[in-house]
């Protein structure tokens, strides 16, 4: 079954995507693929961090949705965001979404020498972003949804770089984020899925300083869909 394959893939590749301690890591914000008013999409999941995430997306009227997302990793990375968005159908089960909003996060990157911690870089930041999502669905024995997104934005960040027995250095930094993602999920009322994210951060100021971040993220997701009517999907002939 597809669900079993998703679980096997997650267990095999999860160790590869584990992040070290960092300030920012890619965020597995679910792609809800909204279709009509009063639709509610709830998601929760485990992320390679290790950590957990949760998301709520609701559409009060047709073509308008609001999404709230938060995540926390045991390696001292926390992040949350809020974004309103526009969605529409491309026909034959394909949909697109455009979300724009703001996120806030913080993290801690320890500096080590051998097995000893000799300092750390602590950071907090805000992120103004826009995200374009697109995907489709296929209705067979189980409903399968697939697609991806591209998120881009600007970080406004502040860091404290501290070494043992030395004065701490404070600095701020502007940076650009480019973060594509792909996902697949299956089920009916309950959807089980995988999502993979990659992030690129380009420093725009204070480029001589560090912006510690992870590049990859794999998430196992569990979603609940509350739909007022059946969404248009492609069917096997």
Please write the tens of the pLDDT for every residue from 74-116: 667 899 999 999 999 988 889 999 999 999 999 988 877 666 7
What pLDDT band is residue 21 in, cutting at 50, 70 and 90? low
Nearest to residue 136, comparing CAs of 95, 179, 86? 95
> Cα separation of 123 and 158, whole Å?
6
**Pairing label, strands 234-235, 116-139:** parallel
- Closest by CA to 219, choosing from 45, 76, 90, 54, is 45
pLDDT digits (tens, 9 = 90+) for 115-166: 677 778 889 999 999 999 999 998 878 889 999 999 999 999 999 988 766 7
What is the domain partition of the chain in residue ranges? 2-28+44-221
Centre a 10 Å sphere on the Cβ of residue 237 and count the other Cβ atoms it contains: 3
Which residue would you say has higher pLDDT here, 12 or 56? 56
Rounded Cα–Cα distance for residues 198 and 231 (Å): 30
Residues in the chain: 237
Contact status, residue 10 vs residue 185, Cβ threshold 8 Å: no
The span from the CA of 131 to the CA of 97, in Å, is 8
d(CA 139, CA 191): 13
Cα gap 144→152, rounded to integer Å = 27
Helix ranges (DSSP H) in the chain:
2-17
Q: What's the pLDDT tens digit per position in 163-222? A: 766 778 899 999 999 999 999 999 988 999 999 999 999 999 999 988 988 899 889 999
| pTM score | 0.84
């Amino acid at each position: 079954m597809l669900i079993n394959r998703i679980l096997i893939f997650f267990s095999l590749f999860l160790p590869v995507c584990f992040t070290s301690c960092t300030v920012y890591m890619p965020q597995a914000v679910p792609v809800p693929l909204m279709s009509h008013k009063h639709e509610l999409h709830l998601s929760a999941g485990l992320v390679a961090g290790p950590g957990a995430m949760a998301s709520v997306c609701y559409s009060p009227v047709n073509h308008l949705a609001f999404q709230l997302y938060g995540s926390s990793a045991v390696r001292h990375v926390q992040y949350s965001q809020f974004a309103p968005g526009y969605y529409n159908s491309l026909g034959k089960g394909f949909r697109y979404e455009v979300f724009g909003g703001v996120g806030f996060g913080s993290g801690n990157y320890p500096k080590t020498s051998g097995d000893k911690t000799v300092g750390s870089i602590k950071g907090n930041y805000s992120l103004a972003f826009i995200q374009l999502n697109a995907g489709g669905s296929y209705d067979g024995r189980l409903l399968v949804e697939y697609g991806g997104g591209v998120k881009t934005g600007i970080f406004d960040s502040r860091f404290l770089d501290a070494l043992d027995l030395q004065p701490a250095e404070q600095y701020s930094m502007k940076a650009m984020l480019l973060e594509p993602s792909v996902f697949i999920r299956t089920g009916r009322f309950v959807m089980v899925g995988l999502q993979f994210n990659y992030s690129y951060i380009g420093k725009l100021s204070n480029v001589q300083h560090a912006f510690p971040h992870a590049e990859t993220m794999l998430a196992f997701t569990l979603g609940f869909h509350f739909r007022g009517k059946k969404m248009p999907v492609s069917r096997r002939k």
